Each structure stands twice: as C-alpha cells, then as structure tokens.
Amino acid sequence: MSVLKFAAVFSQKTGLPPLDGHGEHRIFTASADATQHLPFATLVLGSSPSLLQLGDEADAGLYLVSERTMLNQPLSALGEDQLPGCVGIFPMIANPKIGPAAADNHWHQNHAPLALNVHLTMTHYYQLQVVHRFAGPDWNGLALCCCNSESDLRERFYGSDEGKRQIGEDIVKFADTKNSPRRVIATVQRG
C-alpha cells in the first residue's frame, strides 16, 4: 500500500520552524553530532498539506513522496513505543542508464524482497518514492531501513558477506551509486 506524504528536509538539527499545526508527522534526526558532511540533518515526514508552508525553511529539500511499507506497519500507524530505535536513511538517485521509472520498479519489485532476505536485523522497511520535487536535490527516493539499535544497523545489517555482495550488485542495477548521497543514521519520534 502506498500513501502520499510530504518530506521536508533540513540541513540543521536545531532551529527548525515550529511544527505545531502541521498535523501528525514523524521527525527523523541525524544521530551524529556533526552533520555538515551529511546530505541532511533532519527529515519531517507527514501527510498534512500544511507541510508545504515549510518550503522556505526546508533548506535541504521539499518533496511529495509515496510511502511504501515493505516491512511492519505504516509509519503513521506506529505508536511512540512501536517506533524503531534507529533508521538508516538512504537517498537514491536513479541509474541514468535505465531512468527513474525503471529504477523505481526494480527497487520496489526486485530489491525490496532481496533486502528483506539479507538485512536480518531490519525491523521496519519503507521506500519513499519521490513523486514531485518542490525544492532540493533531484533525488528519486529514500529508503528507510530501521533496526532496534544503531549497532544493529552499523555492525549486523547484513546477514552474511554473500548477502552484502548481493545487495551491492543489485543496487548498481537501479541506483546511481556515484551520485546518490551517503546514508544518514537517525532516530525517529512522533511530532
């Protein structure tokens, strides 16, 4: 099932505009103290059109995304006690050899089942397909790979060396690995 949402992306972890009145949303905040080297520091994901008002403040990007739940329940259905402990957010630029539509199809139909088999510590998995870019880098999607802890994500994300190899070989089929930004490790909370 897909749900349309707005993704407002910020370069800072603090000094965000007030988010009251923007409906229910999820706030993903980078766990790193220094974030200058990351593509963003905070991502706000929600379904309220009022999030469009954050356009000027969302200095790292503003997108309309289709949230696909690949593992567990939709983010909006999760209570505070059901939220994952750690989220790896992987921005993706489509492989230019196949284009955005074919890249998204491969990501959804082929990569997702492989990821579910290989990433054994993953507790939740969401694909945010970019439907429209209002501002920011020309990303085609963001993968939200969730684990119970940061150590699960950093040290036990791959079930085996063979699984790590398979994931790497598959990603280059649909993603531009040279231009896709680095992953952001974040925590998530309800807003």
Neighbours of 85 (CB within 10 A): 15
Terminus-to-terminus CA distance in the chain, angstroms?
Answer: 23
Domain 2-190 in this protein, CATH class:
alpha beta
- Predicted pLDDT at 21: 74
Strand (E) or helix (H) holding 161: helix 161-174
Average pLDDT of each block of 10 consecutive residues along the chain (191 residues)?
91 83 88 96 93 88 97 92 96 98 98 97 97 97 97 94 97 98 96 85
Predicted local confidence at residue 191, as pLDDT: 85
Please state whether the predicted TM-score (pTM) of the whole model is above 0.75: yes
pLDDT on residue 129: 98
- Predicted pLDDT of residue 10: 96
Looking at residue 98, its pLDDT comes to 98
